Amino acid sequence: MRHRRRHAPSAPPRALPDPALHARVLAATAALLAWATALPATAGTLARVASPGGALSVIVESQHEHRLAYRVERNGEPVIAPSRLGFLLGDGRLERNLELVGQTQRSFDETWEQPWGERRLTRNRYNELRARFAEKAPAGKDAGRRFDVVFRVYDDGVGFRYEFPEQPAMDEVRIRAELTEFALAEPAGTAAWWIPAFEWNREEYLYRRTPLREIGTAQTPLTLRTGEGLHVSIHEAALVDYAGMNLARGDGDVLRAALTPGGDGPAVIRATPFATPWRTIQVGARAGDLAESSLILNLNEPNAIGDVSWFVPAKYVGVWWSLHLETETWGSGPRHGATTANTKRYIDFAAANGFRGVLVEGWNPGWDGDWFANGWGFDFTRAMPDFDLRGLARYAAGKGVHLIGHHETACAVSHYERQLPAALDLYARNGVDVVKTGYVCDAGDIQRQDRAGGPVVREWHEGHWMSNHHLRVVEQAAAHRIAINAHEPIKDTGLRRTWPNWVSREGARGMEFAAWADPPNPPEHEATLVFTRMLAGPMDFTPGIVSLQGRNGRPLRSTLAKQLALYVVLYSPIQMVADLPEHYARQPEAFRFIQDVAVDWEDSRVLAGEVGQYAVIARKARGDGGEWFLGGVGGGQPRALEVDLGFLDAGRRYRAEIYRDGDDAHWERAPFAFVRQTREVSADDAMPLRMAAGGGVAIRFVPLP
């Protein structure tokens, strides 16, 4: 966000939403150049729009048989070669005989404020092209089908979507497939980091790095690096009432949208008018440019739920890691984790250390036996007999602590929805203002039942029906002043801008894989996530396993310092302090950083990094303290680098509290080799950083008087 300093907003930032302000900004900055010309739809350029700073351009073309294509240039060089647009609909293809019947352009520039986030102020500045298309009237009809394609071109990327106006020729649109293509201009030398789509374990796969031409069907965000070193990410924004988009390699090296199928019909059924989600292409010279980009958030609508000051970004502990270690159980019995006495222990630990939340899993009936297979047995309105929800909520409140709720659905999603109002009431009455939801089942096995006793339809986690389910949960939760953190979620497409109570989610391999998975998360996993999964939005990764051991002593591929770095590197407004209280007691020095680190940020910068190798991120805490934090994570090999501390506020001196790998640290041989030291620094300094194999570094910068 370097431009933030150069373009300070003229008015002081204020709480959103404010439609009046929005409209004023629009009126003040929108240069509306409208013309409606019917151009002959011959092959060639139909329209062109450049980004405000001129770096990126989109060109819309007509091709053979009057098909549509767009291409993208960066500084005059092709990034995306001509790529087709269109649909496979219930009543036939919508891709040929398309004529441009009008186009308008406008410019937009606003700076908006995130209620919480990785930066407070976000500049949303783009040039927009709206191109209107009509199909030649088929024989015997007065008019063909019509739609618009809207392009928003930023200096760091492009978003475009289809908009279907209300029209006699199409009152309902049944989308079997989207034919949108993304054809990289230089496919031969392009590397891709991706996880497969439509596999049983949803998003919980290790990222693979392959040449572009070895992609099968990938989920988004998909990260690419061209032979020239340009970084590109393809994803989507504002996935509302639509199916999630994957990318399949089609003819040659062209990537084509592969919509998540519907359970019992086409991928998407919508009545006109409606708009698709934005298809996004982020472009940057550095890997860090992708991670700093706000394109996905900017393409979402402003806050729709009003004041969310009731949501407090915070750290939380919980009855959780012990369940994954199998020293305690979700189900009832002698090792039941969610007992009143055990939860009190966590509340005491949270209160003593300044952590706001206590998550408790296994608190409700339904976990006994094979819970994976018994989603219809979950009860979200009652607690187990050995868990006194009311008493614990009161006990926690007395110490300034809040219970965090848990709704594991095991994919019986309709069963969950029927209980949702009562379940949220129960939590709200007990001061629970964050709920972790869960959708554990194989991909494609979500159970939807439209009426009690009716047939059960199997849906995908990222299908059209689930996109609506998640928003039903988020909207009902907002009405109860409850924030949602979804596990096994639908992908993040920036909806936290519109629904800022959708605070975090999983959607990748998190820390749980270190407890029990084979293979475990490798040392480079987090340095990959920063430039892949994290481009979508916050992740509830659940860091801070300072024992560095999973189930039965299996080693984490991590040093102690790296566990601290994760709090800065992997952004989430709720961060778990995931290990057991007794394990933190054995690492008091490292624990200090976990106590001190902030969770809500004024600004964030990626100082250095390469996809899948390392990432160094600096963030300034929100509020008056003026503290900065730095986190660095490496990969399987040691890495030394120097970072410029120019991000620190000029003219100030800071005490740098450095938590680093010891000189002989190594995730396997010496994971606990660890040094805490302090130094005085200022923005004029550079600082050498060294990360061991599987290592990392964490620094707190405290301004000196």
Active site residues: 512
Structure tokens at 54: 């001129």
CB of 204 to Ca ion, least distance (A): 6
Q: Is 361 in the site for ligand NOJ (CB under 6 A)?
A: yes
Secondary structure of residue 154 in the 3-state scheme: strand
- CA–CA separation, 544 vs 514, rounded Å? 12
Q: How far is the CB of 222 from Ca ion (least distance, A)?
A: 21
Q: Which does 328 bind (CB under 5 to 8 A by kind): Ca ion, ligand NOJ, none?
A: none
Q: Which of 440, 436, 460 is nearest to 373 (CA)?
A: 440
Q: Smallest distance from the beta carbon of 507 to ligand NOJ, in angstroms?
A: 10
Asked if 81 and 69 touch (Cβ cutoff 8 Å), the reply is no
Tell me how far, at minimum, the Cβ of 20 lies from Ca ion, in Å.
42
Residue 487 in contact with ligand NOJ, rule: CB under 6 A:
yes
Sign for the pseudo-dihedral over CA of 509, 511, 516, 518: positive
Number of residues that bind ligand NOJ (CB under 6 A): 8
Q: How far apart (Å, rounded) are the C-alpha atoms in residues 499 and 670?
A: 44
Which stretches does DSSP call E strand in 14-55? 33-35, 44-50
> 423 near 407, Cβ under 8 Å?
yes
Answer with the entry of ligand NOJ, Ca ion, none that 462 interacts with (C-beta below 5 to 8 A by kind).
Answer: none
Is position 579 an interface residue for ligand NOJ (rule: CB under 6 A)? no
- Name which of Ca ion, ligand NOJ, none residue 135 binds, using a CB cut-off of 5 to 8 Å depending on partner kind: none
CB of 540 to Ca ion, least distance (A): 9
Looking at beta carbons only, is 424 or 598 nearer to ligand NOJ? Answer: 424
Cis peptide before 221 (omega within 30 of 0): yes
Does 470 bind ligand NOJ (CB under 6 A)? Our answer is no
Smallest gap from Cβ 409 to Ca ion, in A, equals 13
The tokens for 658 are 């450095």
Binding-site ranges for Ca ion (CB under 5 A): 487
Closest by alpha carbon to 14, among 303, 281, 241?
303
Q: How far is the CB of 533 from Ca ion (least distance, A)?
A: 13
- Report the partner that residue 408 touches, choosing among ligand NOJ, Ca ion, none (CB closer than 5 to 8 A by kind): ligand NOJ
Question: Which residues ranging from 31 to 50 are in contact with ligand NOJ (CB under 6 A)?
Answer: none
Site for ligand NOJ in 114-143 (CB under 6 A): none
For 155, counting Cβ atoms within 10 Å of its Cβ (0-12 exposed, 13-18 middle, 19+ buried), the class is buried
- The distance of closest approach from Cβ of residue 615 to Ca ion in the complex, given in angstroms and rounded to an integer, is 22
Structure tokens belonging to residue 498: 């519109």
Q: Is 351 helix (H, G, I), strand (E, B) or coil?
A: helix
* Minimum CB distance to ligand NOJ smaller for 371 or for 672: 371
Before 555, cis peptide (omega within 30)?
Answer: no
182 or 439: CB nearest Ca ion: 439
Based on the number of CB atoms within 10 Å of its own CB, is 19 exposed (0-12), middle (13-18) or buried (19 or more)? exposed
Of 589, 696, 582, 555, nearest to 633 (Cα)? 696
CA atoms within 13 A on the CB side of 558: 30
Binds 225, which of ligand NOJ, Ca ion, none (CB < 5 to 8 A, cut-off by type)?
none
The CA distances from residue 27 to 30, 32, 130, 498, 594, in Å, are: 6, 9, 18, 22, 46
Q: Which two tokens stand for residue 291?
A: 């991670």
Closer by beta carbon to Ca ion, 146 or else 487 = 487
Instruction: From the list Ca ion, ligand NOJ, none, pick the one residue 88 interacts with, judged by a Cβ distance below 5 to 8 Å according to partner type.
Output: none
- Of these partners, ligand NOJ, Ca ion, none, which one is at the site of residue 118 (CB under 5 to 8 Å by kind)? none
440 near ligand NOJ, rule: CB under 6 A: yes
CB of 331 vs ligand NOJ, minimal distance in Å: 12
Q: Which residues pair with 222 in a beta bridge?
A: 234
Residues 509 to 528 in contact with ligand NOJ, rule: CB under 6 A: 512
Closest CB to Ca ion among 284 and 489? 489
* Cβ atoms of 605 and 1 closer than 8 Å: yes
Question: What's the DSSP call for residue 670?
Answer: B
Task: Specify the DSSP class assigned to residue 25.
Answer: H
What is the contact mask toward ligand NOJ in residues 241 to 280, using x (rule: CB under 6 A)?
Answer: ----------------------------------------
Token pair belonging to 571: 């952004």
Residues 370-409 touching ligand NOJ, rule: CB under 6 A, are 408
Q: Smaller CB distance to Ca ion: residue 461 or 622?
A: 461
| Shorter beta-carbon distance to Ca ion: residue 71 or 487 | 487
For residues 158 and 319, which CB has a smaller minimum distance to Ca ion in the complex?
A: 319
- 3-state DSSP of 412-440: EHHHHHHHHHHHHHHHHHCCCCEEEEECC
Among Ca ion, ligand NOJ, none, residue 695 binds (CB under 5-8 Å by kind): none
- Which is closer to ligand NOJ, CB of 152 or CB of 324? 324
Q: Extract the tokens encoding 64.
A: 């053979």
Report the partner that residue 438 touches, choosing among Ca ion, ligand NOJ, none (CB closer than 5 to 8 A by kind).
ligand NOJ
- Tell me the three state secondary structure of residue 15: coil
Contact track, ligand NOJ, 315-334, x by CB under 6 A: -----x--------------
- Among 244, 438, 507, 696, the residue binding ligand NOJ under the rule CB under 6 A is 438
Tokens linked to 669: 């041989």
- The CA distances from residue 222 to 248, 382, 605, in Å, are 11, 42, 21
> Cβ of residue 626: shortest distance to Ca ion, in angstroms?
37
Among Ca ion, ligand NOJ, none, what binds residue 562 when CB lies within 5 to 8 Å by partner kind? none
Contact 528, 207 (CB under 8 A): yes
> CB-wise, 461 or 487, nearer to Ca ion?
487
CA dihedral 139, 140, 141, 147 (to 10 degrees): -20
Q: Return the residues of window 616-645 that contact ligand NOJ according to CB under 6 A.
A: none
Residue 22 Cα distances to 141, 151, 428, 569, 636, angstroms: 42, 20, 32, 32, 48
Q: What is the CA radius of gyration of the chain?
A: 25
Identify the residue whose tokens are 């629970």: 432
> In whole angstroms, how close is the CB of 536 to ligand NOJ at the nearest point?
17
C-beta closer to ligand NOJ: residue 181 or 328: 328
Q: Which residues bind ligand NOJ (CB under 6 A)?
A: 320, 361, 408, 438, 440, 487, 506, 512
